[in-house]
Amino acid sequence: MKTIKARKWSDLTPAQQRAVLTAASVQLSLAATAWVDLARRPESQVNGRKSLWAVGIGLNFLAPILYFSRGIRR
């Protein structure tokens, strides 16, 4: 069985480091925006429980996108 060696930040090329930082920035921006919107929005305008959306936004990369596309009643 072949084991996978963990890579260190210094093992990544500069382009890979930029890609990781860009993806992390996008994720954090989406999550922060979704959490602020969720906190300010009345419960009657949210599909589902606000507490579950808050947890999902923190745990999942797709949850902020899903919140904006499916979680808000229009």
**What predicted TM-score, i.e. pTM, was given to this entire model?**
0.79
Strand partners, 68: none
Give per-residue pLDDT as tens, 19-73: 999 999 999 999 999 999 999 999 999 999 999 999 999 998 899 999 999 999 8
Residue 48, by phi and psi: left (phi above 0), alpha (psi -120 to 50) or beta?
left
